[in-house]
Amino acid sequence: MVFSAIDVIRAKRDGLRLSDEQIDWVVDAYTRGEVADEQMSALAMAVLLRGMTPEETARWTAAMVASGDTLALSGLSRPTVDKHSTGGVGDKITLPLTPLVAACGAAVPQLSGRGLGHTGGTLDKLESIPGWRASLTADEIRDRLRDVGAVICAATEGLAPADRKLYALRDVTGTVESVPLIASSIMSKKIAEGVESLVLDVKCGSGAFMKTPDQARELAAALVDIGAANGLRISALITDMSVPLGRAVGNALEVAESVEVLRGGGPPDVVELTVELAREMLRHAGISGVDPAEVLADGRAHEVWCRMITAQGGDPEAALPQAAHVDTITAPASGTLTGLDAHVVGLAAWRLGAGRARKEDTVDHAAGVLCLAKPGERVTEGQPLLELRTDRPETLPAVRESLRAAYEISGADVKSTPLILDKVTAGRSSR
């Protein structure tokens, strides 16, 4: 059958369901350059406005997976399982979670990305470690999984090239917000990894892409349905991102906090989410009789972390970068800290140098914000609330001013909000 880009665009523009053959053709033709950027831009806008059925979204995802290679992980002796987070402020969970789940008996191929804007990237964090390298070949990924059980690295060039091309196009054409396109982008890369199981951490709140729990559930349901349609054992946790996760926001700062967690300490919220995601991953992987909380507390996960970092050329004992300039924001009054806006804190860390505005930008690995007090804690006038770290002192006055909107102090106690708000499985949410 002969297709044309114009016919596919018109079909979706008019609200019609695209056939499997139309989807397969247009994704393949765009990857090969037969469909022009302006034509795919028009189709993406039509999808944004008209939506896709779950069946269309699953097929679109499968077509993007088919545009490139997949990792062959079937020969590993351990069950394979991965985690994906939709991103947030201070979200360093991948760092302790990957070695923890590996220490419990699974193989965890965590293919990660870099940060853009106020949310940090896992690879940027790990590149704070001297010598560590993000780029591995498919054979090296399999070797690390076989020898260590865990790997965190960049996706290989051959995985889902259609997604890489379409993602860049959506970023400049106002079509990022489409749930079907978001879901297929995330899932095409995860399915191409070749894992058997996947757990999703879909965040909502001021510091997340999805601002409300309902929006997060919609995305989570789409992601879970795609995974189930492609044979994955899959579920999603809806988690709160109205407050920064942990106390550290910034690359080297988050590595240091992650190591603290792996040594049996760390902020309670980071520990809680790490353990709960680990339990869900182990459930899907069919591993029972092991408590990830115990494995985290007794140092076994830290041992795997050291082996994982060393296997990628890093020195787990090396000193992390330190900022040349440190500034402190203190409490203007005594009372209870009732709010700490994740988005405002994330933007502050970005302005200090921890993030990038464009993909080509470099990051300052030492820059960031330490949240010395969190909501629910009592503070006294003059007590340090936030510590700003940067090698760009000229940014400090504007950052200090912006952070005035980040926190609230009240005489009343604050009601605690649960970190994990919901759980979504194929076809339903559990709470």
Q: Is residue 58 part of a domain?
A: no
Determine whether 163 is an active site residue: yes
Q: Is residue 132 part of a domain?
A: yes
Catalytic pick among 12, 84, 164, 365: 84
- Segments forming the whole domain that contains residue 27: 5-51
Q: Mean pLDDT, the chain, as a whole number?
A: 93
Query: 165 near 205, Cβ under 8 Å?
Result: no
Catalytic pick among 163, 240, 341, 364: 163
Mean pLDDT calculated for residue range 149-155: 94
**Residue 348, H or E segment:** helix 342-349
Q: Which residue has the higher pLDDT, 186 or 358?
A: 186
Catalytic pick among 189, 233, 247, 356: 189
Structure tokens at 61: 């995802």
Q: Please tell me the predicted confidence (pLDDT) of residue 64.
A: 95
pLDDT in tens, 311-331: 999 999 999 999 999 999 999
Query: Residues 250, 252, 258, 262: what is their CA dihedral angle, to the nearest 10 degrees?
Result: 180
Return the closest-CA partner of residue 85 out of 200, 205, 257.
200
Q: Are residues 86 and 227 in the same domain?
A: yes
Task: Quote the percentage of the chain above a pLDDT of 90.
Answer: 80
Q: Are residues 102 and 157 in the same domain?
A: yes
Q: Please tell me the predicted confidence (pLDDT) of residue 89.
A: 94
Q: Is residue 342 part of a domain?
A: yes
Q: Which long-range contacts (CB under 8 A, 24 or more apart) does 94-97 make?
A: 94/122, 94/152, 95/122, 95/125, 95/126, 95/152, 95/254, 95/255, 95/258, 95/305, 96/258, 96/261, 96/262, 96/266, 96/270, 96/274, 96/296, 96/301, 96/305, 97/274, 97/277, 97/278, 97/281
Mean pLDDT calculated for residue range 196-218: 94
Which CATH number is 348's domain given?
Answer: 3.90.1170.30
Q: Please tell me the predicted confidence (pLDDT) of residue 385.
A: 97
Q: Are residues 401 and 272 in the same domain?
A: no
Gap between the terminal Cα atoms of the chain: 46
Q: Is residue 286 part of a domain?
A: yes
Q: Which residue has the higher pLDDT, 368 or 73?
A: 368
Q: Are residues 352 and 284 in the same domain?
A: no
Question: Helix 5-13 to helix 20-32 angle, to the nearest 10 degrees?
Answer: 130
Q: Is residue 393 part of a domain?
A: yes
Q: Please tell me the predicted confidence (pLDDT) of residue 347.
A: 94
Mean pLDDT calculated for residue range 241-263: 97
Q: Are residues 289 and 262 in the same domain?
A: yes
Q: Are residues 221 and 88 in the same domain?
A: yes
Q: Edge-to-edge strand order for the sheet containing 248-249?
A: 248-249, 368-371, 384-390, 325-330
Asked if pLDDT for residue 195 goes beyond 60, the answer is yes
State how many domains the chain has: 3
**Residue 74 to residues 33, 67, 193, 278, Cα–Cα distance (Å):** 32, 20, 11, 21
Q: Are residues 37 and 179 in the same domain?
A: no
Which CATH number is 36's domain given?
Answer: 1.20.970.10
Q: Are residues 236 and 354 in the same domain?
A: no
Q: Please tell me the predicted confidence (pLDDT) of residue 168.
A: 81
Q: Are residues 300 and 329 in the same domain?
A: no
Asked if pLDDT for residue 100 goes beyond 70, the answer is yes
Asked if pLDDT for residue 427 goes beyond 80, the answer is no
Q: Are residues 337 and 312 in the same domain?
A: no
- Which burial class, exposed, middle or buried, applies to 10 when counting CB atoms under 10 A from its CB (0-12, 13-18, 19+)? middle
Asked if pLDDT for residue 343 goes beyond 70, the answer is yes
Q: Are residues 89 and 179 in the same domain?
A: yes
22/217 Cα distance (integer angstroms): 29
Q: Please tell me the predicted confidence (pLDDT) of residue 352.
A: 96
H-assigned helices in 172-267: 179-193, 213-229, 251-262
Q: Please tell me the predicted confidence (pLDDT) of residue 118.
A: 65
Q: Are residues 340 and 312 in the same domain?
A: no
Q: Residue 18's pLDDT band (boundaries 50, 70, 90)?
A: very high
Q: Is residue 293 part of a domain?
A: yes
Q: Please tell me the predicted confidence (pLDDT) of residue 159.
A: 87
Catalytic pick among 12, 59, 170, 233: 170
Q: Is residue 162 part of a domain?
A: yes
Residues across the chain: 431
For residue 171, the Cα-to-chain-centroid distance in whole angstroms is: 17
Q: Is residue 66 part of a domain?
A: no
Which CATH number is 303's domain given?
Answer: 3.40.1030.10
Determine whether 170 is an active site residue: yes
Asked if pLDDT for residue 156 goes beyond 70, the answer is yes
Catalytic pick among 185, 197, 242, 258: 185
